[in-house]
């Protein structure tokens, strides 16, 4: 087991951080996915001894620095880090010094003086992980920055797809919903696109960012057209504040035009599957009958795969003793 | 049922033809005409022969802008009288504004109005959906579901969306449904408490004026947003020379921009207000003579696509007021055709051009099948005696709303027959 595990071990990421999918090479993407799949095997088979896995990050300190509310992502990182034997510290914005007027860089500098090894960062402003990476010695994992990227979500989505279909290349994947405000859509575009998937975006025109067609992905403003022939439909969450008449007239109209219900799903190929990064708005972007369809829904698997994917990312940023990061 | 219209002077704006001929109709659809086969078919094959006696026979008029008082203010006018007034002037399709009470801002309202209008078995009635909920300009209405219910475009009635981001989103969203956004261009900040057009007449009368650029400023912004979003944008009741220039330029650029005006803006100018005549208190206000001439030039060169009635039913009590306190608007359905026909005499406008402004282009803008005499088009037809002369009297109006600034105008040319889907509405 130990030898096999060593041979699988993911090489350190070249940049020393995971700031986005956009900074990864295809070899790195594949290495992370292969390793994630290995971890997935372990965590989905509780009987299998995995004592060596629990030593991978022994003595490593992982800090979850969340400036934006999140339960599932933070818990997922925490579970992943603990499974690898790291010690985990959670810092959320409420009650922290940020509220007292400290700048982000000051907070980072303060944290840095405590010498954490890996900082998992979520922030509402795009580019925050990059900014932090310039001020701390720790490796940074972007756990979602504004509308920019959410690389671990894309990796867990790719892992879920790969384990379900055995491949990614050539699959027709429709990403539907609030593309304009979605970091998940952007990260998935970069990752699944690089791995050869046939992607398309489906959204009301008011929820498409400017010049989105220049990202090289076909865009549809009609749900049935957009998901026709798709192997995978990835629904995105629509924030409540977008349904109050500025972007979308109402929840009623959104579900009517862009919500995934049994009628739309019935038109799909028999083996098409449904994904959602969560948390879901039932009756807004997805009907419960679809979300809970055991034949098609991979939504629960996605959560499970999240832990495995994050284990691989944490492992890929483990201290190697030869980093030249600032502060080290 | 097969009908033959013989001895007609056919006018087809689509093909720019105006010539003697015949037209055959079967089950409400045009099936043949002298445009395709010069030889008139044997009359025995028809269940009805209509002898047009050399009168003009063209595609029924499409009025793309009328206000209905029903629902909400049926004491002023009902849907029934609105449709009766329309067909009595050969207006076979009528598009009503969403500014009713309740506002037409959801699919159920459209269903209900169309269901009721259908029962009268008169002209075709279409609804614009309100662009924003309650026409408040703050939240988009359910444009998609209204489209499914039959909305032919999205309108703001007589209000202007001044929030540019709202307008941009609206255009972006509307484009998905391939329906035009119709806007009333009036900068609210330049229109506070106005009575009429700004200028010498307003100054002499001591009334508060609105500069013509109040229209043009919003129009220019809208055109810039239409360029950004690619939507089909339609500027309603254009009144100012400066607006005409802007539309002409936008069309030259190839943008999907269309516009309409109404008879007051090519027939009258601000002098009509001189006697504090509240019937001439309109929104947009009557402008200067230069503006009026620019509107005519725009009708002649195609810058303005359509003439609409801009029908605004008004309670007479609301007009029997000092000018400043009187309501804006006038009845339009009974003057649309007589006043537009005057362009033939004053500017030598040919029949096909007139029918283009009143039938073909409005039908095209709204995506309707009518407005032409081609095979397969609905048999929505109007017959006109071009030589009939009379004096326009509001007492003769078919509309229940009879406020007009055109009282006593001599007219030439009268509608003598009207068919909707082959069904005769009246014939003299």
CATH value at residue B38:
2.30.40.10
How far apart are the CA of B56 and the nearest CA of chain A, in angstroms?
45
B26: which 2 tokens? 């079967």
The dihedral region occupied by B3, where left means phi > 0, alpha psi between -120 and 50, and beta the remainder, is beta
pLDDT in tens, B4-32: 999 999 999 999 999 999 999 999 999 99
A311 pLDDT more than 60:
yes
* Span between the terminal Cα atoms of chain B, in Å: 22
B293 membership: H or E segment, kind and range: helix B289-301
Q: Cα(A24)–Cα(B366) distance, rounded to whole angstroms? A: 51
Same domain, B208 and B142: yes
A98 pLDDT more than 70:
no
Q: Which of A178, A206, A225 to mutate to test the interface with B (most CBs of B within 10 A)?
A: A206
Q: Which of B140, B174, B178, B230 to mutate to test the interface with A (most CBs of A within 10 A)?
A: B140
Same domain, B16 and B162: no
Is the four-CA dihedral B73, B167, B332, B427 of positive or negative sign?
negative
Q: What is the pLDDT of residue B193?
A: 94
Average pLDDT of span B408-416: 97
In sequence order, which ranges of B38-106 are alpha helices (DSSP H)?
A: 79-88
Q: What is the pLDDT of residue B36?
A: 92
Same domain, B263 and B384: no
Same domain, B26 and B52: yes
Q: What is the pLDDT of residue A227?
A: 95
**Among chain B residues, CA nearest to A256:** B145
Same domain, B232 and B336: yes
Q: Using an 8 Å Cβ cutoff, are B231 and B175 in contact?
A: yes
Q: What is the pLDDT of residue A91?
A: 86
With CB atoms and an 8 Å threshold, state whether B145 touches A253: yes
B151 pLDDT more than 50:
yes
A34-48, B102-116, B190-204: segment of lowest average pLDDT: A34-48
With CB atoms and an 8 Å threshold, state whether A249 touches B172: no
Same domain, B48 and B152: no
Residue A295, class by beta-carbon neighbours within 10 Å (0-12 exposed, 13-18 middle, 19+ buried)?
A: exposed
A2 pLDDT more than 70:
no
Q: What is the pLDDT of residue A32?
A: 97
CB pairs < 8 Å spanning A and B: 44
A1 pLDDT more than 70:
no
A141 pLDDT more than 50:
yes
Residue B405 counted as domain residue = no
Residue B313 counted as domain residue = yes
Same domain, B278 and B183: yes
What does the angle CA B49 – CA B55 – CA B56 come to, to the nearest 5 degrees?
Answer: 105
CATH value at residue B357:
3.20.20.140
Q: Smallest Cα–Cα separation from B383: which of B127, B38, B10, B1?
A: B10
Residue A7's pLDDT band (cuts 50, 70, 90): very low
Same domain, B361 and B392: no
Q: What is the pLDDT of residue A3?
A: 40
Mean pLDDT of chain B: 97
Same domain, B18 and B152: no
Q: Which of A247, A250, A257 sits opposite B169 (nearest CB)?
A: A247
More confident residue, A269 or B385: B385
Which residues in chain B are contacts of A244 at CB distance < 8 A? 139
Residue B29 counted as domain residue = yes
A82 membership: H or E segment, kind and range: helix A72-83
Q: What is the pLDDT of residue A92?
A: 78
Residue B349's pLDDT band (cuts 50, 70, 90): very high
For residue B167, give its domain range. Answer: 61-366
A89 membership: H or E segment, kind and range: strand A87-92
- Paired with B10 in beta bridges are B19, B57
Q: What is the pLDDT of residue B183?
A: 98
Residue B325 counted as domain residue = yes
Average pLDDT of span A72-101: 84
For B413, list phi and psi in degrees, rounded to 5: 105, 120
Q: Please give the share of chain A, as a percent, with pLDDT higher than 70.
A: 91
Residue B13 counted as domain residue = yes
pLDDT in tens, A173-210: 999 999 999 999 999 999 999 999 999 999 999 999 99
With CB atoms and an 8 Å threshold, state whether B166 touches A246: yes
**Among chain A residues, CA nearest to B136:** A245
Residue B371 counted as domain residue = no
Same domain, B112 and B181: yes
Which residues in chain B are contacts of A222 at CB distance < 8 A? 176
Chain position carrying tokens 């009470």: B101
Q: Smallest Cα–Cα separation from A247: which of A234, A235, A258?
A: A258
B113: which 2 tokens? 């109005």
| Reported ipTM exceeds the 0.90 cut | no
Q: Tell me the CA distances in angstroms from A179 to A176, A242, B77, B209, B250, one per residue in order.
A: 7, 12, 47, 47, 31
Q: What is the pLDDT of residue A68?
A: 87
Q: Using an 8 Å Cβ cutoff, are A192 and A157 in contact?
A: yes
Residue B258's pLDDT band (cuts 50, 70, 90): very high
Task: Name every residue whose Cβ is closer than 8 Å to that of residue B275 and which is 6 or more positions away in sequence.
Answer: none
Same domain, B354 and B387: no
A6-20, A107-121, B83-97: segment of lowest average pLDDT: A6-20
Residue B401 counted as domain residue = no
- The 10 Å Cβ neighbour count of residue B245 is 14
B396 is catalytic: no
Residue B203 counted as domain residue = yes
Which residues in chain B are contacts of A248 at CB distance < 8 A? 140
Count: domains in chain B = 2
Q: What is the DSSP string of B31-45?
A: EEETTT-SSPPPGGG
A164 membership: H or E segment, kind and range: helix A151-165
Q: Please give the share of chain B, as a percent, with pLDDT higher than 70.
A: 100
Q: What is the pLDDT of residue A150?
A: 97
pLDDT in tens, A225-282: 999 999 999 999 998 777 778 899 999 999 999 999 999 998 887 889 999 998 999 9
More confident residue, B82 or A3: B82
- What residue ranges in B131-256 does DSSP mark as E strands? 154-155, 181-183, 196-197, 209-210, 233-235
Q: Using an 8 Å Cβ cutoff, are A153 and A279 in contact?
A: no
Q: Using an 8 Å Cβ cutoff, are B161 and B187 in contact?
A: no
Mean pLDDT of chain A: 90
pLDDT in tens, B298-338: 999 999 999 999 999 999 999 999 999 999 999 999 999 99
A324 pLDDT more than 70:
no
How far apart are the CA of A123 and the nearest CA of chain B, in angstroms?
26
Average pLDDT of span B265-275: 96
Q: What is the pLDDT of residue A275?
A: 97
A115 pLDDT more than 60:
yes
Q: What is the pLDDT of residue A240?
A: 79
Residue B390's pLDDT band (cuts 50, 70, 90): very high
Q: What is the pLDDT of residue A100?
A: 65
How far apart are the CA of B145 and the nearest CA of chain A, in angstroms?
7
Q: Which of B139, B145, B176 sits opposite A246 (nearest CB)?
A: B139
Chain centre distance of CA B196: 22
Q: What is the pLDDT of residue B72?
A: 95
More confident residue, A96 or A52: A52
Q: What is the pLDDT of residue A49?
A: 62
- What residue ranges in A146-202 does DSSP mark as E strands? 172-176, 198-202
Q: Which of A181, A203, A205, A220 to mutate to test the interface with B (most CBs of B within 10 A)?
A: A205
Same domain, B353 and B307: yes
């Amino acid at each position: 087991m130990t030898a096999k595990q060593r041979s699988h071990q993911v090489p350190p990421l070249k940049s020393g951080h995971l700031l986005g999918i956009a900074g990864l090479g295809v070899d790195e993407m594949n290495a992370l996915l292969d390793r994630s799949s290995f971890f997935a095997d372990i965590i989905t088979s509780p009987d299998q001894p995995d004592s060596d896995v629990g030593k991978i990050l022994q003595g490593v300190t992982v800090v979850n620095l969340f400036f934006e509310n999140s339960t599932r992502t933070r818990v997922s990182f925490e579970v992943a880090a603990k499974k690898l034997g790291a010690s985990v510290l959670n810092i959320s914005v409420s009650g922290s010094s940020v509220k007292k007027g400290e700048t982000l860089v000051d907070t980072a500098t303060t944290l840095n003086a405590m010498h954490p090894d890996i900082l998992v960062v979520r922030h509402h402003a795009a580019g925050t992980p990059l900014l932090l990476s310039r001020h701390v010695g720790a490796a940074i994992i972007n756990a979602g920055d504004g509308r920019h990227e959410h690389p671990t979500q894309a990796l867990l989505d790719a892992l879920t797809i790969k384990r379900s279909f055995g491949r990614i290349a050539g699959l027709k994947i429709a990403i539907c919903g609030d593309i304009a405000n979605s970091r998940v859509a952007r990260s998935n575009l970069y990752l699944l696109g690089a791995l050869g998937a046939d992607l398309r975006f489906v959204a009301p025109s008011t929820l498409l960012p400017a010049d989105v067609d220049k990202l090289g992905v076909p865009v549809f403003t009609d749900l049935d057209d957009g998901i026709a022939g798709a192997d995978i439909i990835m629904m995105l969450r629509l924030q409540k504040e977008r349904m109050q008449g500025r972007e979308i007239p109402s929840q009623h109209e959104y579900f009517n035009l862009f919500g995934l219900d049994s009628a739309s799903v019935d038109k799909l190929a028999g083996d098409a599957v449904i994904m959602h990064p969560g948390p879901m708005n039932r009756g807004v972007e997805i009907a419960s009958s679809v979300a809970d369809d055991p034949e098609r829904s991979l939504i629960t698997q996605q959560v499970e795969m999240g832990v495995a994917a994050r284990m691989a990312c944490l492992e890929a940023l483990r201290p190697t003793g030869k980093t030249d990061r600032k502060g080290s | 049922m097969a009908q033959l219209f013989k001895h007609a002077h056919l006018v087809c704006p689509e093909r720019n033809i105006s010539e003697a001929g015949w037209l055959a109709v079967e089950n409400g659809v045009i099936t043949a005409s002298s445009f395709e086969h010069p030889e008139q078919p044997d009359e025995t094959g028809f269940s009805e022969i209509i002898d047009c006696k050399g009168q003009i026979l063209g595609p029924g008029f499409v009025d793309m802008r009328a206000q209905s008082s029903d629902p909400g203010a049926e004491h002023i006018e009902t849907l029934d009288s609105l449709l009766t007034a329309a067909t009595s002037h050969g207006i076979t399709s009528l598009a009503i504004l969403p500014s009713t009470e309740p506002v037409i801002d959801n699919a159920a309202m459209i269903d209900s109005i169309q269901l009721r209008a259908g029962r009268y078995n008169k002209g075709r009635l279409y609804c614009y959906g309100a662009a924003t909920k309650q026409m408040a300009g703050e939240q988009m209405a359910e444009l998609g579901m209204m489209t499914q219910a039959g909305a032919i475009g999205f309108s703001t009635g007589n209000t202007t969306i001044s929030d540019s981001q709202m307008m941009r989103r609206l255009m972006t969203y509307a484009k998905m449904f391939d329906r035009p956004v119709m806007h009333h261009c009036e900068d609210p900040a330049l229109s506070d408490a106005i009575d009429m057009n700004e200028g010498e007449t307003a100054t002499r009368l001591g009334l508060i004026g609105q500069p013509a650029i109040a229209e043009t400023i919003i129009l220019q912004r809208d055109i810039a947003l239409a360029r950004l979003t690619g939507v089909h944008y339609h500027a309603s009741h254009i009144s100012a020379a400066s607006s005409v220039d802007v539309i002409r330029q936008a069309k030259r650029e190839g943008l999907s921009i269309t516009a309409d005006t109404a008879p007051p803006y090519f027939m009258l100018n601000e002098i009509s207000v001189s006697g504090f005549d509240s019937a001439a208190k309109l929104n947009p206000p009557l402008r200067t003579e230069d503006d009026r001439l620019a509107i005519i030039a725009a009708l002649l060169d195609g810058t303005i696509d359509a003439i609409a009635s801009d029908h605004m039913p008004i309670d007479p009590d609301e007009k029997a007021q000092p000018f400043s306190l009187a309501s804006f608007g006038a009845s339009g359905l009974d003057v649309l055709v007589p006043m537009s026909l005057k362009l033939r005499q004053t500017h030598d406008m040919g029949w096909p051009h007139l029918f283009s402004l009143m039938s073909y282009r409005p039908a095209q803008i709204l995506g309707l099948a009518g407005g032409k005499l081609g095979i397969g088009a609905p048999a929505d037809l109007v017959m006109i005696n071009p030589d009939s002369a009379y004096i326009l009297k509001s007492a003769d109006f078919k509309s229940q709303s009879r406020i007009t600034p055109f009282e006593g105008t001599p007219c030439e040319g009268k509608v003598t027959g009207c068919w909707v889907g082959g069904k005769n509405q009246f014939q003299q």
